[in-house]
């Protein structure tokens, strides 16, 4: 049994990004194991047979398989920036549900036998427009500083924006674009995007954050 929780992660996965951001801001130490999705380690699959990241294995044997639960665990241990003060479950559910479905079909239309993702791109704009309106009175959904809701949504808005960056930059969504730019450029995000080699059984532990 390890002295630290073990976090299986993949650098570019948006679910893993938000989990790492919460763990990092909490300051709770974990052992980070970087996964290559086409070569998943047996230890991760034994802990979580569904085979998706992130996965957090706690020292007592409990396994957290959902990124929101990992965020909640980390912040329940220590929440120095008050992220839990703003956790809009309805907004997070809308992002993880209809918006994520539209995003996937916009970004990867061939996976869904679609000629292109334009209709789904436009459907996603309804969600983004509502976010822009919510941000018109404050720089973050949580107010003056980012909070749980911001971090839960941010990696997926980033993914949407990056699909056609020039098109996204031309949208009349200045509050949302400013919000995204601030989070992408934050020291926290830069720190959690460090590149780590693929973890292999027997490797020396990588401590995070």
Tell me the pLDDT tens digit for each residue of 67-87. Answer: 999 999 999 999 999 999 999
Considering the entire predicted model, what is its pTM? 0.96
Same domain, 90 and 181: yes
pLDDT category of residue 3 using cuts at 50, 70 and 90? confident
Secondary structure (3-state) at 64: strand
Instruction: List the beta bridge partners of residue 31.
Output: 6, 207
Asked if residue 69 is part of any domain, the answer here is yes
195 pLDDT tier (thresholds 50, 70, 90): very high
Report the distance separating Cα 127 and Cα 94, nearest Å: 8
Let me know if residue 28 belongs to a domain.
yes
Residue 15 lies in a domain: yes
Structurally, how many domains does the chain consist of?
2
Radius of gyration of the chain (CA): 17
Q: Tell me: the pLDDT tens digits for 25-55?
A: 999 999 999 999 999 999 999 999 999 999 9
CB 54 within 8 A of CB 16: yes
Q: Is residue 90 part of a domain?
A: yes
pLDDT at 2 over 70: no
Beta carbons of 127 and 100 less than 8 angstroms apart: no
Q: 54 is written with which tokens?
A: 């992130």
- Looking at the fold, whether 104 and 134 belong to one and the same domain comes out as yes
Which long-range CB contacts under 8 A does 192-199 form with residues at least 24 apart? 192/17, 192/20, 192/21, 192/24, 193/11, 193/17, 195/11, 196/11, 196/32, 196/34, 197/34, 198/34, 198/35, 198/36, 198/39, 199/8, 199/32, 199/33, 199/34, 199/35, 199/41
Dihedral in degrees, nearest 10, Cα atoms 102, 106, 110, 113: 50
Task: Give the confidence band of 115 by pLDDT, cuts at 50, 70, 90.
Answer: very high
Q: What is the pLDDT of residues 135-184, one digit of tens each?
A: 999 999 999 999 999 999 999 999 999 999 999 999 999 999 999 999 99
Residue 98 CA to residue 66 CA, distance in Å, equals 18
Can you name the residues that pair with 6 across neighbouring β-strands? 31, 57
What tokens were used for 141?
């959904």
Question: What percent of the chain is modeled with pLDDT above 70?
Answer: 99
CATH value at residue 97? 1.20.1050.10
Q: Clarify whether residues 71 and 94 are in a common domain.
A: no
In a domain, 1, yes or no: no
* 148 and 204 co-located in one domain: no
Is beta strand 30-34 parallel, antiparallel or unpaired with respect to 55-57? unpaired
Q: Is residue 65 part of a domain?
A: yes
Q: Are 88 and 175 in the same domain? A: yes
Mean pLDDT over each residue of the chain, to the nearest integer? 97
Question: What is the Cα–Cα distance from 130 to 121, expressed in whole angstroms?
Answer: 15
Query: Domain containing 65: what range?
Result: 6-80+190-208
């Amino acid at each position: 049994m390890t002295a630290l929780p073990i976090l299986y992660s993949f650098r570019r996965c948006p679910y893993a990004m938000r989990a790492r951001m919460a763990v990092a801001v909490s300051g709770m130490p974990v052992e980070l194991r970087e996964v290559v999705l086409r070569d998943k380690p047996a230890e991760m699959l034994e802990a979580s047979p569904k085979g998706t990241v992130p996965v957090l294995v706690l020292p007592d044997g409990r396994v957290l398989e959902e990124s929101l639960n990992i965020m909640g665990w980390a912040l329940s241990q220590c929440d120095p920036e008050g992220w839990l003060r703003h956790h809009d479950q309805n907004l997070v559910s809308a992002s993880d549900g209809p918006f994520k479905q539209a995003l996937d079909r916009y970004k990867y239309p061939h996976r869904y036998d679609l000629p292109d993702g334009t209709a789904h791109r436009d459907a996603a704009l309804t969600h983004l427009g509502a976010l822009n309106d919510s941000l018109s009175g404050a720089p973050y959904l949580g107010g003056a500083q980012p909070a749980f809701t911001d971090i839960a949504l941010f990696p997926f808005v980033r993914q949407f924006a990056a699909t056609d960056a020039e098109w996204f930059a031309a949208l009349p969504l200045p509050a949302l674009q400013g919000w995204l730019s601030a989070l992408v450029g934050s020291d926290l995000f830069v720190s959690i995007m460090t590149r780590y080699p693929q973890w292999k059984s027997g490797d020396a532990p990588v401590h995070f954050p």
